[in-house]
Amino acid sequence: MTEGEFIAALRALAGNPAARALADDAAVLEVGGETLVLTHDVLVEGVHVLPGSDPADIAWKLVAVNLSDLAAKGAEPLGILLGHMLGDGDARFIEGLREVLAAYDVPLLGGDTVKGLGPRSWGVTAIGRAMHVPVPSRGGAEAGDGVFVTGVLGAAMLGHAALTGGAEADTAAYLRPAPLLAEGRALAPHVTAMMDVSDGLLLDCWRLAGASGVTLALDGAAIPVADERRRGECLRWGDDYQLLFTAPADTALPVAASRIGTVVPLDGGHLRLDGRGLSLDDGLGYTHG
Amino acid sequence: MTEGEFIAALRALAGNPAARALADDAAVLEVGGETLVLTHDVLVEGVHVLPGSDPADIAWKLVAVNLSDLAAKGAEPLGILLGHMLGDGDARFIEGLREVLAAYDVPLLGGDTVKGLGPRSWGVTAIGRAMHVPVPSRGGAEAGDGVFVTGVLGAAMLGHAALTGGAEADTAAYLRPAPLLAEGRALAPHVTAMMDVSDGLLLDCWRLAGASGVTLALDGAAIPVADERRRGECLRWGDDYQLLFTAPADTALPVAASRIGTVVPLDGGHLRLDGRGLSLDDGLGYTHG
pLDDT tens column, A58-106: 999 999 999 999 999 999 999 999 999 999 999 999 999 999 999 999 9
Lowest mean pLDDT among A110-119, A143-152, A218-227, B269-278: A110-119
Mean pLDDT of chain B: 91
Report the distance separating Cα B234 and Cα B165, nearest Å: 17
Lowest mean pLDDT among A22-31, A276-285, B208-217: A22-31
What is the torsion angle, in degrees rounded to the nearest 10, for the CA atoms of residue B271, residue B272, residue B278 and residue B283?
-80
pLDDT digits (tens, 9 = 90+) for A175-233: 999 999 999 999 999 999 999 999 899 999 999 999 999 999 999 999 999 999 999 99
Whether A75 contacts A131, CB under 8 Å: yes
Q: What is the DSSP letter of A286?
A: P
Q: Do B127 and A26 touch (CB under 8 A)?
A: no
Give the pLDDT band (50/70/90) at residue A24: low
Q: What is the pLDDT of residue B289?
A: 38
The more confidently predicted of residues B1 and B241 is: B241
Report the distance separating Cα B38 and Cα A214, nearest Å: 37
Q: What is the pLDDT of residue A18?
A: 46
Share of chain B above pLDDT 90, in %: 72
Share of chain A above pLDDT 70, in %: 96
State the span(s) of chain A assigned CATH 3.30.1330.10: 3-130
Q: Phi-psi region for residue B281, left (φ > 0), alpha (ψ -120 to 50) or beta?
A: alpha
Mean pLDDT of chain A: 91
A174 is in an annotated binding site: no
Q: How do B108-114 and B121-130 pair as beta strands?
A: unpaired
Residues in chain B: 289
CATH for the B3-130 domain, from 3.40.50.300, 3.30.70.260, 3.30.2020.30, 3.30.1330.10: 3.30.1330.10
Q: What is the pLDDT of residue A238?
A: 86
Whether B222 contacts B146, CB under 8 Å: no
Task: Give the residue among A22, A120, A40 at the shortest CA–CA distance from A80.
Answer: A40
Q: What is the pLDDT of residue B15?
A: 67
* pLDDT reading at A163 higher than 90: no
Mean pLDDT of B250-256: 96
Q: Which residues of A touch B37 (CB under 8 A)?
A: none
Report the distance separating Cα B269 and Cα B276, nearest Å: 10
Q: What is the pLDDT of residue A288?
A: 45
The more confidently predicted of residues B162 and A252 is: A252
Mean pLDDT of A147-158: 95
Q: Do A108 and B14 touch (CB under 8 A)?
A: yes
Mean pLDDT of B219-238: 95
State how far residue A285 is from chain B, nearest Cα, in angstroms.
16
DSSP E strands: which ranges in chain A?
27-31, 34-44, 75-85, 108-114, 121-130, 145-149, 193-196, 214-218, 243-248, 258-265, 271-273, 276-278
Cβ within 8 Å of B, A 101-160? 101, 107-119, 121, 123, 125, 127, 129
Residue A31 touches partner B, C-beta closer than 8 Å: yes
pLDDT digits (tens, 9 = 90+) for A40-64: 999 998 888 887 889 999 999 999 9
Share of chain A above pLDDT 90, in %: 71
Q: How do B271-273 and B214-218 pair as beta strands?
A: parallel
Single-letter residue type at A89: G
Single-letter residue type at A159: G
Q: What is the pLDDT of residue B22?
A: 54
CATH number for the domain running over B145-282: 3.90.650.10
Q: What is the pLDDT of residue A169?
A: 78
Measure CA of the first residue to CA of the last residue in chain B; give whole Å: 14
Cβ within 8 Å of A, B 175-214? none
* pLDDT reading at A289 higher than 70: no
Mean pLDDT of A130-145: 96
Q: What is the pLDDT of residue A22?
A: 54
The sign of the CA dihedral A88, A111, B118, A46 is negative
Give the pLDDT band (50/70/90) at residue A1: confident
Mean pLDDT of B164-181: 88
Give the pLDDT band (50/70/90) at residue B165: confident
Whether B94 contacts A10, CB under 8 Å: yes
* pLDDT reading at B149 higher than 50: yes
Residue A249 touches partner B, C-beta closer than 8 Å: no
Q: Which residues of A touch B120 (CB under 8 A)?
A: none
Q: What is the pLDDT of residue B274?
A: 97
Q: What is the pLDDT of residue A41?
A: 93
* pLDDT reading at B96 higher than 90: yes
Whether B6 contacts A55, CB under 8 Å: no
Contacts of B273 (CB under 8 A, 6+ apart): B202, B218, B220, B235
Give the pLDDT band (50/70/90) at residue B288: very low
State the span(s) of chain B assigned CATH 3.90.650.10: 145-282
Lowest mean pLDDT among A114-123, A226-235, B73-82, B98-107: A114-123
